[in-house]
Amino acid sequence: MAAGPGRPAPGRSFEFVGRQRELGLLLAAVRHPPAVVLVEGEAGIGKSRLVHEAALALTAEGHRVLTGHCHPLREPFPYGPVMDALRKGGRWLPAEGVPPTAGALAPLLPDLADRLPSPPPRARDAQAERYQLVHGVRAFLSAIGPAVLVVEDLHWVDEATRELLLLLARDLPERLGLVGTYRAEDLPPRTPVLGAAYRRPPGTSGAVIRLAPLSEAAIGELAAAALGGQATPDLTAALYQRSEGLPLVAEEDLITLAEQSLHGRAAEAAAHLAHAEVPRGLREAVTERLATLSETGAAVVDAAAVLAVPAGEELLAAVAGLDAERGAQGLTEALQAAVLRETGHRDGARGEAPQREDVPPPHGVRHGAGHGGQYVFRHVLAQQVAYRHVPGPQRARLHRQAVEALRALTPPPLVQIAHHTLAAGDREAWLPRVEEAAEQSIALGDTGTAAALLHQVLEQPHLSADDRSRTALALGRIAVNGPDHLANAAVLRSILADPRLPTATCGEIRMDLGLLMVNHGGDRSGYEEIARSIGELESKPEKAARAMIAMAMNERDEAAAHSRAWLERAEQTLAASPDQAVRAAARATRLTLLARDGDPAVWAELDRLPRQSEDTDLLRQTTRAVYNVGELAIELGHDQRAAELLAESRELARRADIPYLECYSRIALLRLDGVAGRWEGIERGFAELADQYPDMAMAGTEQSLTLGRLATARGRTAEALRHYRAAAEYGERESQVTSAVRAAVGLAAVRLAEGAPEDAWATVTPAVRLLARAGAWARATGLLPVAVAAGLACGQEAAATALVEQAGEGLRGRDGPGARAELHLAHGLIQAQAQPALAVEHLTTARDIWRAVGRPYEAARAAELLARALAATERDRAAAHLTDAVDSFTRLGATADTARCGPLLRELGLTRPAARGRQGYGSRLSPRERQVADLLVEGATNQAIAQALFLSPRTVEQHVAHVLKKLDTTRKTISDVHPGDST
């Protein structure tokens, strides 16, 4: 049947049927940016067609639709799919007003460099460079107006681009829609499409659209649009049975029927489809079309099937073994038969909506230079069928010819050359070629491509031990330095699962896995892997010593008692070693242990570390030591030193290219802001870290501990408990004791405030044992004062007194101002009743130490306790101290602490009438009512509000009633009209 009006000629688009609901979902999301839409479905299900239809509608509405594609045989080019899409948006860049941050894209978009701002100074480490690029992409897309970024075939995305898209999706420009398509079955095992669990941020619309096969009715609509009255129910049933609802297969059958000119013979057409030898799928339709080609046309198609990526006319002819004239003839025939199609021009700058199934050439490939067109199969399934149709010996010959043709290109596409070398069966030549391709990928920053190549090497059954070892170690280095520690750990485990790996290589990989688990995942079970690696590294003493050094850092599970022994064993192993880097690692660990113990000798030793070494490995160990001691300085109470060391470690981390240590330093500096009373903006700081380092366990834990502390001070007990419980869960896995202890202290403090001292005592008791076993008395965690307060409140005075004595003994000779302040505070609590004068002396000392350290909240708590100790005997002094405490609490925004002081203020006659009463606020909330409203937003009950603000239940009832009336809302809907505390 010839193509009539409305019917597709070969290669033309079919009617869009059966996807109106999905199209509506996609458009509804993207029309309300920012939006993230993911379209999932098997090959041939219609993902690209759906996106194409949406692009047509959005383009008509003024959106700029930019499309990039991922490829299975990609040449190394960092962020290639995104850069390919942005390249098409050049014509929409305004002449002025492009944000300076967009200049980061200039080196990756040389064709647009004259329209972009100058590139910023080069980032000093890979992580900073990635985020510089993210900001550049955001700025570019914001500058071109309402935009939609489409990335097709995310199942083939490289890791660098995946991370870029994840970071972009977590903080989209206001007028951007991000759309991705993928095949779930082709994603790496246990890998979400964006590499990490993604939840749309508040204010971001979107959807996950999973395409199912078309119904028989939809296939009937497709057939009717293509064949008109010839689309009988029998023919529709045959089409549906063969395609199983896969539109791509049904379309291929319809093209075949049109080519066979079955006009007026609908019954014969249905019988033909129903009784074909291959009753379902695409294979027969493609095979039948291949059979119609001449020898020249078949040669070009075979070459295209072997190349497997879009290729130019010259390359196709060269691989097919044809001269230019015959190559052009064969290509023309393949296009007319709708076996191949043209993908468009390389420049892609016209900014048009994407054509259906449009796949641009792989990044870095210059196929057919001098000819704008690139040619490819209409879809990947057709290419697979055609490839299998080529006889084996001819396939091998074509792969060899592909190698020669590709090597003649400038630059040569090394990834494809390696692929064709292996496919041709030349394993001896393949190994150096694939290693060369991996090295090129790493040099270009495309570690995802490099990792895929190295995995391919390890899959080879007859690889020599040396080659397997070298490849595994290279892949391990990529994994250890990658952005996603969970995915990296999975890679390392997959390497270790290879029974053919040499023992020493296993040891190196296993040590890297253990360090990854401990340092990035916060999982101390990684020490089991490190301990096991020591035996495997017997033939490599320097590597074994590194593992011993790592073992010295664990202080859980009774391991703290063995830390010195592990370090001494490592130093003995290195006695005759010339390896300066591993010696530096041992020295950095010794300094860490000195700081951990509160040994004052650490400061002089730290000053002697080399800061200007040209040896990167030595500089890395200096960075590690400076960071470790800086973080521990916070726990010791040397806050000024901590600030200096952590700022230095950030700078050193940039110079030594250790992005995770810069992240650690930023986390510790945020912790320092928390203890120094710099609370404003601290939540924003942690949110930025979470965006930039989404899988860094330490960031989440410190965020929970710090925000739990702030929530407690503000009387938000439910929020505080949520944060502390999350931190406690991490603390159970972590190798250092202080996270678990701080979480327990937070939970106990909340229970004390709620009037449940027995629960508080039960919470701190195991934490006390943990701290004692680790001998970590010098590190201030808040445990001692809370434990003593809980013990005294529930009748455990003897145990509380014994704990104070034990802590005092543990602090002998230790340099820990914070721990000494806590010890004096605990003594003050113990002596408050029996020896009030002594209690005042201890509490005064505690307050003065905290002031000297620079912690206003702790100093205010000590001043409050001092006022309470003096209230019965020296009211004037008590009033002065209490006024100081309340002033500090008020400046900090510690509303719960301010409220707790209220009764004593009144008792001391310090209550002053407000400048205006409730009447003066009219319909606005008074300060007290705002506090109540903030707690209602958190879901607090009246009882919880009363406890937080130290009010009677009756007073709370009145405040709640006034709040709800003024806001014209209910408890359930108050969060819709009241934003809560924004500090």
b/e map of 406-418 (b: 16 or more CB within 10 Å)? beebeebbbbbbb
DSSP letter for 323, please. -
Chain mean pLDDT for the chain: 83
pLDDT for 344: 54
Residue 472 is classified by DSSP as H
What is the arithmetic mean of pLDDT over 852-857?
A: 96
pLDDT class for 16, splitting at 50, 70, 90?
A: confident
Q: What is the rounded CA–CA span in Å between residue 116 and residue 141? A: 12
pLDDT over 70 at 712, yes or no: yes
Q: What is the pLDDT of residues 325-337, one digit of tens each?
A: 999 999 999 888 7
Position 159 scores a pLDDT of 79
From CA 482, how far away is CA 477, in angstroms rounded?
A: 9
Residue 699: what pLDDT? Answer: 83
User: What does the pLDDT look like over 114-148, one tens digit per residue?
Assistant: 888 888 877 666 666 777 888 889 889 989 889 99
**pLDDT score of 265:** 58
| pLDDT-above-70 percentage for the chain | 87
pLDDT value at position 974? 76
DSSP states of 691-754: HHSTT-HHHHHHHHHHHHHHHHHTT-HHHHHHHHHHHHHHHHH-SSSHHHHHHHHHHHHHHHHT
pLDDT at 266: 54
- List pLDDT tens digits, range 349-399: 222 222 223 322 333 333 333 345 889 887 666 788 888 889 989 999 999
pLDDT exceeds 80 at position 488: no
Q: What is the pLDDT of residues 271-308, one digit of tens each?
A: 655 554 433 446 666 777 788 889 999 999 999 999 98
Q: Are 555 and 736 in contact (CB under 8 A)?
A: yes
pLDDT (mean) for 696-721: 89
**Predicted confidence band at 259 (pLDDT cuts at 50, 70, 90)?**
low
Q: 86 with 65: CB under 8 angstroms? A: no
Maximum separation of any 2 CA atoms in the chain, in Å: 112
pLDDT band at 506 (very low <50, low <70, confident <90, very high): very high
* Range 557-575 average pLDDT: 90
CB 613: neighbour CB atoms within 10 A?
16
Measured CA to CA, the distance from residue 555 to residue 770 in angstroms comes to: 10
Most confident residue range from 134-148, 370-384, 435-449, 747-761 = 747-761
Q: How far apart are CA 712 and CA 689, in angstroms?
A: 23
Write the DSSP assignment of 867-920 as a string of letters.
Answer: HHHHTTT-HHHHHHHHHHHHHHHHHHT-HHHHHHTHHHHHHTT-----SS-GGG
E-only strand ranges, 187-298: 205-210
Rounded to an integer, what is the distance from CA 550 to the centroid of its chain?
26
Distance CA 510, CA 534 (A): 9
What is the C-alpha separation between 372 and 368, in angstroms, rounded? 8
Most confident among 91-95, 364-368, 496-500, 600-604 (mean pLDDT): 600-604
Per-residue model confidence as pLDDT tens digits over 224-248: 887 777 777 877 887 777 777 878 7
pLDDT value, residue 930: 76
pLDDT higher than 70, residue 958: yes
Q: CA-to-CA distance for 525 and 949, rounded, in angstroms?
A: 43
In this structure, are residues 691 and 170 in contact, taking their beta carbons and an 8 Å threshold? Answer: yes
| Segment 888-923, tens digit of pLDDT | 999 999 989 998 998 888 888 876 434 334 445 666
Measured distance CA(359)–CA(377) in Å, rounded: 10
The residues, ordered by sequence, that sit 6+ positions from 713 with a Cβ below 8 Å of its Cβ are 857, 889, 892, 893, 894, 895, 896, 897
Give me the amino acid identity at 134: V
Give me the pLDDT at residue 934, please.
Answer: 76
Mean pLDDT of all residues in 807-814: 94
Q: Average the pLDDT over 18-23 and give the result.
A: 90
**In the predicted model, what is the mean pLDDT of residues 840-864?**
96
Separation CA 630–CA 639 (nearest Å): 9
